[in-house]
């Protein structure tokens, strides 16, 4: 029986692209200043990925210079968002479930805290964890494992739900936790998680299987 849900934040509870243009404008300017570091097609791809991936992961993927990596981190470390954010409409399906819920998100603390605040998520979750790469080397796998141990769940009693096969889905699989890939834009394959959904209305049916 499923007792708890572990959810990602960005592109799982709300569309990150809805706040990206304003939030990341200073970073886009920085990238434009360093455009000579990238191939012709890389800069647009990097800007697009910023709505999906953490800065540190993008920096590693594209081999950013130390200067660019540090400048970007300095900008993001102090960035926050102070306007209302609309969650995906089907997030209400998650809120209606009585299971314990945990939010685990990766990113700079100040920025992620501001998203949580503007989405008014504090009341929805038993615990909220921000995995800030500048403060810890722990991955989501370690955080998930801590949740299992702290609250005495067995892996099969928890569902991990998120949009990234290489992040929370991979971490859940490594711990033997059933995984649900929230694939709103139909970008992935069925074999990348135990379950793949486009709408949280399907979540109740998945829970009933356990």
Distance of CA 124 to the CA centre of its chain: 16
Domain boundaries, the chain: 4-14+84-207, 20-77
* Run of H or E residues at 4: strand 4-7
Mean pLDDT in residue range 142-163: 98
What's the mean per-residue pLDDT of the chain? 94
- Regarding beta strands 195-197 and 127-131, do their DSSP bridges make them parallel or antiparallel, or are they unpaired? unpaired
Strands of 12-155, DSSP E = 100-106, 127-131
Q: Is the pLDDT of residue 85 over 90?
A: yes
Terminal Cα-to-Cα distance of the chain (whole angstroms):
5
pTM score, whole prediction: 0.89
For 4-14+84-207, the fitting CATH number among 2.30.40.10, 3.90.110.10, 3.40.640.10, 3.40.50.1000 is 3.40.50.1000
Overall average pLDDT of the 2-28 stretch: 94
What pLDDT is stored for residue 126 in this prediction? 98
Please check whether residue 173 is in contact with residue 179, taking contact to mean a CB–CB distance below 8 angstroms: yes
Cβ distance 17 to 111 under 8 Å?
Answer: no
Residue 189: band (very low, low, confident or very high) from pLDDT cuts 50, 70, 90: confident
Q: Is 182's pLDDT higher than 90? A: yes
Main-chain phi, psi angles of 86, to 5 degrees: -95, 125
Give me 208's structure tokens: 């009933």
Query: Order of strands across the sheet with 4-7?
Result: 127-131, 100-106, 4-7, 158-162, 179-182, 195-197
* Residue range 28-66, pLDDT digits in tens: 999 999 989 888 789 999 988 887 888 888 999 999 999
Task: Give the Cα separation of 43 and 64 in Å (integer).
Answer: 11
Round to whole Å and give the CA distance between 131 and 126. 16
Closest CA to 20 of 57, 56, 46: 46
């Amino acid at each position: 029986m499923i007792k708890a849900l572990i959810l990602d934040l960005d592109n799982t509870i709300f569309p990150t692209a809805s706040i990206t243009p304003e939030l990341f404008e200073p970073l886009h300017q920085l990238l434009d200043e360093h455009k000579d570091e990238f191939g012709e097609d890389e800069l647009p791809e990097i800007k697009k990925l910023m709505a999906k991936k953490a800065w540190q992961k993008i920096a590693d993927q594209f081999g950013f210079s130390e200067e660019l990596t540090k400048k970007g981190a300095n900008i993001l470390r102090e960035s926050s968002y102070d306007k209302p954010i609309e969650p995906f409409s089907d997030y209400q399906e998650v809120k209606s479930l009585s299971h314990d819920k945990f939010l685990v998100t990766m990113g700079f603390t100040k920025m992620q805290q501001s998203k949580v605040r503007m989405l008014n998520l504090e009341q929805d979750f038993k615990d909220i964890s921000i995995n800030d790469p500048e403060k810890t080397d722990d991955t989501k796998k370690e955080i998930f494992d801590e949740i299992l141990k702290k609250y005495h769940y067995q892996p099969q009693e928890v569902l991990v739900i998120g949009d990234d096969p290489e992040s929370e889905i991979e971490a859940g699989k490594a711990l033997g936790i059933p995984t649900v890939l929230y694939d709103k834009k139909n970008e992935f394959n069925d074999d990348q998680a135990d379950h793949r959904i486009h709408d949280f209305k399907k979540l109740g049916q998945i829970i009933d299987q356990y």
